[in-house]
Amino acid sequence: MLLEGKKLLVTGASAGIGRAIAIGAAHHGAHVAINYHADDDGAASAVEEIERAGRRAVAIKGDVADPDSAPAFVEGAAEALGGVDVFVSNAGICPFHAFLDMPRETLERTLQVNLHGAWYMVQAAAQRMVAQDRGGSIIAVSSISALVGGEFQTHYTPTKAGVLSLMQSAAIALGKHKIRCNALLPGTILTDINKDDLSDPAKRSYMEGRVPLGRLGQPEDMVGPAVFLASDLAAYVTGASLLVDGGAFVNLQ
Ligand code: NAP
């Protein structure tokens, strides 16, 4: 019960990592608001699971690429839950594509969802936390891709480096308000985002072979690191980044 009574908001929580963090946080005592874009059934079932854990839950639909969705989510969630203590910026897309013939719309949508969306959401959450004057924790789901390249991710990796950088600068801007800002850097976690890419058995076994812990990640592997950064156990942790990759990043030689 590391998050007893805290009000926690997560973007992109109808599926995958965001959903796991939302439900995991509820099991640690948090009341939870989720944002999502399209998957009404996924959002409704996440709300059900949070409520089954005995916590308050609300789902607010919105496209994070739309700047107006940020204040709408934060203020709607704060009203429903009674404030904002923890904000997890997680929504993201990764439409794998080659570099040389990247469609302009694919590049621009990826930048708008992953980077602009995170920026506006984090700003709206910070504005609310400053107004409340009781500090807070902001966590952005960046990626191992902030640190390493990917042939079919030339549009995606810069957004994840940007999100990591956003947490570093926001940690400085918000320290005086006792708001901590940290980044999670997942390695390969089995979700819809990479289902097609990993449907090739050769690619999947290559990726598994690169992980010292011997398996790819599950969304639930992200819960402990997120709960830690959200909780008072991390009271002196800000501007930090935490790789959650089974050791893949250091496995070069
Ligand atoms: P996922 O299973 O595809 O889930 C993505 C979630 O984001 C869904 O709930 C989706 O909601 C939501 N979403 C997508 N576009 C949105 C938008 N414009 N506005 C609001 N919500 C939106 O993906 P995931 O793997 O959990 O990814 C979550 C985050 O982790 C992303 O930022 C991703 O870059 C990062 N990450 C993932 C991995 C990995 O291996 N899986 C590794 C490193 C980093 P709807 O379905 O309702 O649209």
The pTM of the full predicted model, rounded to 2 decimals, is: 0.99
* pLDDT at residue 8 in the model: 99
CA 135 to ligand 1 center in whole angstroms: 27
Q: What is the mean pLDDT of residues 7-11?
A: 99
pLDDT, the chain, mean: 98
| Whether the Cβ atoms of residue 112 and residue 65 lie closer than 8 Å to each other | yes
Strand order in the sheet with 86-89: 57-61, 31-36, 7-10, 86-89, 136-141, 179-186, 241-244
115: nearest Cα among 152, 137, 145: 145
Q: Where are the alpha helices (DSSP H) in the chain?
A: 16-27, 40-52, 69-81, 104-110, 117-132, 157-174, 201-209, 223-230
Q: d(Cα 102, Cα 157) in Å, to the nearest integer?
A: 14
Q: What is the pLDDT of residue 52?
A: 98
Query: Residue 168: what pLDDT?
Result: 99
CB-based burial label for 187 (10 Å; 0-12, 13-18, 19+): buried
Average pLDDT over residues 149-172: 98
Cα separations (Å) of 198 from 130, 179, 203? 42, 37, 6
In the chain, the percentage of residues whose pLDDT exceeds 70 is: 100
pLDDT grade, residue 181 (50/70/90)? very high
Testing ligand 1's pocket by substitution, the residue of 10, 11, 36 carrying the most ligand atoms inside 8 A of its CB is 36
Residue 106 — very low, low, confident or very high, per pLDDT cuts 50/70/90? very high
- Mutate-to-test residue for ligand 1 from 34, 93, 195, highest number of ligand atoms within 8 A of CB: 93
pLDDT range class, residue 5, cuts 50, 70, 90: very high
Rounded to an integer, the average pLDDT of 128-134 is 98
pLDDT, residue 208, reads 96
Which residues participate in catalysis according to the annotation?
143, 156, 160
pLDDT recorded at residue 149: 98
In the three-class reduction of DSSP (H, G, I as helix; E, B as strand; rest coil), residue 138 is classed as strand
Q: Which phi and psi angles does 217 have, rounded to 5°?
A: -80, 160
The predicted structure's pLDDT at residue 179 = 99
Domains of the chain: 7-244 (3.40.50.720)
d(CA 172, CA 187): 26
How high is the pLDDT of residue 195?
Answer: 94
What DSSP assignment string belongs to 23-81? Answer: HHHHHTT-EEEEEESS-HHHHHHHHHHHHHTT--EEEEE--TTSTTHHHHHHHHHHHHH
